[in-house]
Amino acid sequence: MTDSMTFLDIQGAAKTFGGTTVLDGVDLTVARGEFISLLGPSGCGKTTLLRIVAGLLTGDRGTVTLDGEEISRKPPHHRDVGVVFQSYALFPHLTVAENVAFGLEARGAPKAEIEATVRRFLDLAHMASFADRSVKMLSGGQQQRVAVARALAVQPKLLLLDEPFSALDRKLRETMQIELKRLLRELNITAIFVTHDQDEALVMSDRIAVMNRGQIEQLADPETIYRRPATPFALEFVGLSTRIAGKVAEATPDGVVAIDTAYGRIRANGRYTPGSPVLIGIRPERMAFGPNAAENTIKVTLTDIVFQGSRIQAHFASSEDRPIQIESSETVPAGLSPGGETEVSWNIADTLLYPDVAA
């Protein structure tokens, strides 16, 4: 939907390489100042979509409109779009300040303005004290800060970031995530961020587009993506989950279905006709030890306890290709050890339900 809030509007973006559909008619609208992540496995088309928006690649179909102007056929340097890639792509023979000044000089900005802008963006990127250093002398994190400062210095309407932190170690990556978020918020910059790291997407995004095979499967805020994944793929790709296959046995008019499974009857909210094959998903922290007669209870056999410091994970034997899992801040019930049977329960409202297309 296009409305007055739309700043970037991608409609029907499609791309085929050598007969393989890489982008399958993607629509995406982004509001001004919004931070959107494209999240998905390798090869799902994230980078291809980003390159089409940047103008580095021409889509077979579709349009890109930025701030009310269609830019689909404009060359990259006329699109007002900044790009930060995975590899830093700084100019190695220039200093930090010269790198940041590069785009401004190319536009013929006055010298005093260039100096002031470079200073401002190096300050914002916490790199002011490195201004005169060669970029070759910088660490990976520092180089990536300079790359972000360089992209922002020309004050683009839109910033595109393609796995910018993937080469950094975990701690530095987390610091950079927080810093980048702060910087973009301060400057009210609209950004699209490509990542295959679900934690990174959950931490940083206003909304996440979960991509699979050239399509967006779900576009929503991080909490909705985690709590209400729209498809089995989204459930699978973000966070841990237990899966149980079943067949709908009964459907009530109030929208609750009873499902026959290898563990007995399980109830869930949903509208399915009896006989439909379904897939049940449950997040591990929504499951608890012990029965709950009003909700869902199943009998399971403990296989493993994984101690994770503040939490434990308990695994139970499953008929599926992965264990039933509980994640809890409590310990396992006294006397329960691997091989032992117990009951676990969870709420009907926490039971995610999907049509089982594979069945």
**What letter represents residue 136's amino acid?**
K
Binding to ligand ATP by residue 198, rule CB under 6 A? Answer: no
Q: How crowded is the C-beta side of 114, counted as CA atoms within 13 Å? A: 15
CB of 322 to ligand ATP, least distance (A): 24
When binding is defined by CB under 6 A, the residue of 4, 19, 42, 335 that contacts ligand ATP is 42
Question: Given the complex with ligand ATP, which of 48 and 143 has the nearer CB atom?
Answer: 48
Binding to ligand ATP by residue 91, rule CB under 6 A? Answer: no
When binding is defined by CB under 6 A, the residue of 44, 81, 216, 225 that contacts ligand ATP is 44
CA angle 193–215–279, rounded 5-degree value: 110
Binding to ligand ATP by residue 17, rule CB under 6 A? Answer: yes
If binding means CB under 6 A, how many residues of this protein chain bind ligand ATP? Answer: 12
Interhelix angle 111-124/140-153, rounded to 10 degrees, is 140
Cβ contact 141:133 at 8 Å: no
CB of 290 to ligand ATP, least distance (A): 42
CB of 214 to ligand ATP, least distance (A): 8
Query: By Cβ distance, which residue is nearest to ligand ATP?
Result: 47
Interface region with ligand ATP, contact rule CB under 6 A, candidates 17-25, 69-77, 243-251, 350-358: 17-25
| Sign of the Cα pseudo-torsion (208, 180, 161, 70, in order) | positive
CB of 210 to ligand ATP, least distance (A): 12
Take residue 222 and report the two structure tokens written for it: 């991080």
Question: Given the complex with ligand ATP, which of 14 and 266 has the nearer CB atom?
Answer: 14
Question: Which residue from 171, 178, 226 is spatially nearest to 202, judged by alpha carbons?
Answer: 226
When binding is defined by CB under 6 A, the residue of 13, 14, 22, 118 that contacts ligand ATP is 22
When binding is defined by CB under 6 A, the residue of 145, 150, 173, 196 that contacts ligand ATP is 196
CA angle 274–279–281, rounded 5-degree value: 130
Binding to ligand ATP by residue 173, rule CB under 6 A? Answer: no
When binding is defined by CB under 6 A, the residue of 9, 10, 13, 47 that contacts ligand ATP is 47
When binding is defined by CB under 6 A, the residue of 46, 150, 267, 286 that contacts ligand ATP is 46
Interface region with ligand ATP, contact rule CB under 6 A, candidates 46-54, 200-208, 330-338, 351-359: 46-54
Collapse the DSSP code of 230 into the 3-class scheme (helix H, G, I; strand E, B; otherwise coil) and give the result. Answer: coil
Across 193-208, b (16+ Cβ under 10 Å) vs e yields bbbbbbebbbebbebb
Question: Given the complex with ligand ATP, which of 50 and 122 has the nearer CB atom?
Answer: 50
CA angle 120–126–127, rounded 5-degree value: 80
Cβ contact 198:239 at 8 Å: yes
Binding to ligand ATP by residue 45, rule CB under 6 A? Answer: yes
| Local structure of residue 333 (DSSP, 8 states) | P
Cβ contact 333:344 at 8 Å: no
CB of 265 to ligand ATP, least distance (A): 40
Residue 46's region, left for phi above 0, alpha for psi from -120 to 50, else beta, is alpha
Binding to ligand ATP by residue 14, rule CB under 6 A? Answer: no
Instruction: Tell me which residues touch ligand ATP (CB under 6 A).
Output: 17-18, 22, 40, 42-48, 196
